[in-house]
């Protein structure tokens, strides 16, 4: 079994949940059956969306490269980043190390393509939406996509920054409103494309028709690390399609 490095803290609670997912997904009968994971929890990394949108001049890339190289020096076999917006810097970050860097955006698009989804809605930060991370990955996979209206995107950012990141309860009416908007545009599955949105799914019954990108990443990490995976989670990447709306 290989070891995994995680660039975390972006945000902290999502990183903690990611570790929980890895443990819950592993088919383990003893402690030793679990994957060796080194989490570098680094919330001091500058905000990715603020930099991308020109609201901050502080690039997160130098700190992320430093973190990735530190994990590589500790002997991990591959690296995951529990922040989707940071994948705007994926090429530069991957080039800075000599071990594989898993790509949550590509893994998510590949999953949707492999399970017959034709059109997906994107719920993500404005940084992710502006840089077209999911849009380009979905197009490359042959899928159509939709993003929220400006008002809907404001609601998504409110959920992420003013509620989940701030440690406050999520406004489920706001969440459902922007979800309904994307459903009305014909989306068959909605991507929870920010790890803070994964926490809403963890804590609330949001219903069917969502694909949690953080779950997809956790499955991919176990797969690439050759760790034993519980059948119900292995099916997420293989046989079981997402419940359509």
Kindly report the three-state secondary structure assignment for every residue of 201-224.
HHHCCCCCCEEEHHHHHHHHHHHH
Please confirm, yes or no, whether 194 is among the known catalytic residues: yes
- pTM of the predicted model as reported, rounded to 2 decimal places: 0.93
For the question of residue 221 being annotated catalytic, the response is no
Q: How far apart are CA 107 and CA 177, in angstroms?
A: 27
Q: Judging by DSSP bridges, how do beta strands 144-146 and 119-123 pair with one another?
A: parallel
Q: What is the tens place of the pLDDT at every residue in 66-95?
A: 999 999 999 999 999 999 999 999 999 999
DSSP letter for 225, please. Answer: T
Q: Which tokens is 10 given?
A: 């972006």
CATH architecture of 4-103+215-237: 3-Layer(aba) Sandwich (3.40)
Three-state SS at 57: coil
CA 209 distance to own-chain centroid:
17
Rounded to whole angstroms, the Cα distance separating 98 from 76 reads 11
Measure Cα distances from 163 to 8, 10, 172, 234 in Å: 20, 15, 11, 32
Count of alpha carbons within 13 Å of 39, Cβ hemisphere only?
19
CATH 3.40.50.1860 residue spans of the chain? 4-103+215-237, 105-213
pLDDT, tens digit (0-9, with 9 covering 90-100), for 166-203: 999 999 999 999 999 999 999 999 999 999 999 999 99
Confidence bin at 234 (pLDDT 50/70/90) = confident
Residue holding tokens 């908007």?
A: 181
Topology of domain 105-213 in CATH is Rossmann fold (3.40.50)
83, 187, 219, 221: the active-site residue: 83
Virtual CA dihedral for 226, 140, 179, 86, nearest 10 degrees? 60
Residue reference for tokens 């077209």: 132
73: helix, strand or coil? helix
Stretch 157-162: mean pLDDT: 98
Radius of gyration of the chain (CA): 17
Is 240's pLDDT higher than 80? no
Selecting among 187, 194, 219, 221, the annotated active-site residue is 194
């Amino acid at each position: 079994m290989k070891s995994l490095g995680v660039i975390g803290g972006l945000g902290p609670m999502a990183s903690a949940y990611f570790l929980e997912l890895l443990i819950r997904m592993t088919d383990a009968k003893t402690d030793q059956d679990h994957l060796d994971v080194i989490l570098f929890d680094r919330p001091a990394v500058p905000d990715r969306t603020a930099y991308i949108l020109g609201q901050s001049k502080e690039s997160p890339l130098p700190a992320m490269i430093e973190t990735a190289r530190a994990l590589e020096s500790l002997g991990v076999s591959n690296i995951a980043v529990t922040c989707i917006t940071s994948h705007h810097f994926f090429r530069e970050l991957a080039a800075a190390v000599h071990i594989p860097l898993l790509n949550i955006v590509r893994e998510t698009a590949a999953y949707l393509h492999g399970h017959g989804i034709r059109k997906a809605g994107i719920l993500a930060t404005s940084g992710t939406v502006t840089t077209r991370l999911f849009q380009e990955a979905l197009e490359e996979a042959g899928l159509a996509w939709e993003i929220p209206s400006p008002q809907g995107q404001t609601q998504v950012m409110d959920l992420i920054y003013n509620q989940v990141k701030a440690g406050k309860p999520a406004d489920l009416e706001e969440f459902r409103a922007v979800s309904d908007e994307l459903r009305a545009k014909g989306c068959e599955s909605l991507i929870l494309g920010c790890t803070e949105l994964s926490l809403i799914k963890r804590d609330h019954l949001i219903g069917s028709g969502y694909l949690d990108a953080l779950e997809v990443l956790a499955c991919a990490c176990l797969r690439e690390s050759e760790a034993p995976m519980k059948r119900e989670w292995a099916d997420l990447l293989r046989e079981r399609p997402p419940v359509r709306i």
